[in-house]
């Protein structure tokens, strides 16, 4: 478990649950952000408006560090020295960025394309076929009822619980919840609830999903390999559902080729 330092706010913007902009903000000294295409910190005073944007998701320091690492960066504890400054229109509107702003951040395509109904049906079909065959390989598959098929998925789940972040091994995933494992010495409180967000790292595709939903512990048990537990997600938005379906379909295809 990692405690947050508490002095810097970390926020992310996501497109279909996939993070595309990570910011660190602390008035009046820190206002910087990075993206997958712009992994070097860029200073922008407009970021002081980001915490008031309804689409921004607040991350813990550990979750933010995971996003930054995936883009080849580090979060640090304060402003990155020597960061270039982006002079832009004020006030900032992070829900409707101009083409110039999108180019500056390297996020031209974020939020521009959705999934067609046919594509969604194909994604669901692909994940269901592989999930059905892989469910038998999961020893605790009967311990948790889910509304959606699960897919075996290796990776990490960074779970925010109050001021701390639990980083657990991800075992399986569905639109309803996630199965995880922790070292045996780690205690998981029965009936625990989580306010979110959940940051999920899939090893197979090196993809990250940021689900800004609450969750609750549905079951847990200790075994020789650690403490296994399941978390049920709250209601996903349409965008989060699309992002989840993409990740599950990708994971299902790659497992099916093995």
pLDDT in tens, the chain (258 residues): 333 445 899 999 999 999 999 999 999 999 999 999 999 999 999 999 999 999 999 999 999 999 999 999 999 878 888 888 887 767 788 988 889 889 999 998 785 444 445 544 554 554 454 444 444 334 444 444 557 888 999 999 999 988 889 999 999 999 999 999 998 656 666 678 999 999 999 987 778 999 999 999 999 888 777 889 999 999 999 999 999 999 998 888 766 544
In the chain, CATH 2.40.10.220 sits at 117-256
- Model pLDDT, residue 142: 45
- Model pLDDT, residue 212: 97
- SS3 of the chain: CEECCCCCEEEEEEECCEEEEEEEEECCCEEEEECCCCCCCEECHHHHHHHHCCCCEEECHHHHHHHHHHCCCCCCCCCCCCCCECCCCCCCCCCCCCHHHHHHHCCCCCCCCCCCHHHHHHHHHHHHHHHHHHHHHCCCHHHCCCCCCCEEEEEEEEEEECCEEEEEEEEEECCCEEEEEECCCCCCCCCCEECCCEEEEECCCCEEEEECCCEEEEEEEEECCEEEEEEEECCCCHHHHHHHHHHHHHHHHHHHCC
The structure's pTM equals 0.83
- Model pLDDT, residue 31: 94
* Topology given in CATH for the domain delimited by 117-256: Thrombin, subunit H (2.40.10)
């Amino acid at each position: 478990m990692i405690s947050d330092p508490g002095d810097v706010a970390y926020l992310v913007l996501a497109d279909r649950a996939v993070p595309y902009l990570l910011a660190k903000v602390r008035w009046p000294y820190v206002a910087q952000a990075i993206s997958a295409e712009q992994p070097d910190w860029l200073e922008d005073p407009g970021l002081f408006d980001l915490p008031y944007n309804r689409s921004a998701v607040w991350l813990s320091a550990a979750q933010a560090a995971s996003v930054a690492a995936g883009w080849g960066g580090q979060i640090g504890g304060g402003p990155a020295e020597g960061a270039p400054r982006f002079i832009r229109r004020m006030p900032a509107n992070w829900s409707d960025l101009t083409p110039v702003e999108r180019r500056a951040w390297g996020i031209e395509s974020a939020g521009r394309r959705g999934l067609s109904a046919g594509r969604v049906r194909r994604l669901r079909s692909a994940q269901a076929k592989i999930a059905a065959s892989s469910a038998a390989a999961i020893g605790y598959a009967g311990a948790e009822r889910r509304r959606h098929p699960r897919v075996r998925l290796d990776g990490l789940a960074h779970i925010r619980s109050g001021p701390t972040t639990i980083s657990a091994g991800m075992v399986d995933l569905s639109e309803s919840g996630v199965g995880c494992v922790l070292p045996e010495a780690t205690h998981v409180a029965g009936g625990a609830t989580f306010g979110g967000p959940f940051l999920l790292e899939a090893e197979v595709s090196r993809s990250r999903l940021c689900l800004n939903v609450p969750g609750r512990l549905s079951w847990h048990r200790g075994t020789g390999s650690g403490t296994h537990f399941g978390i049920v997600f709250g209601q996903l938005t349409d965008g989060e559902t699309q992002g989840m379906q993409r990740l599950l379909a990708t994971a299902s295809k790659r497992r099916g080729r093995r």
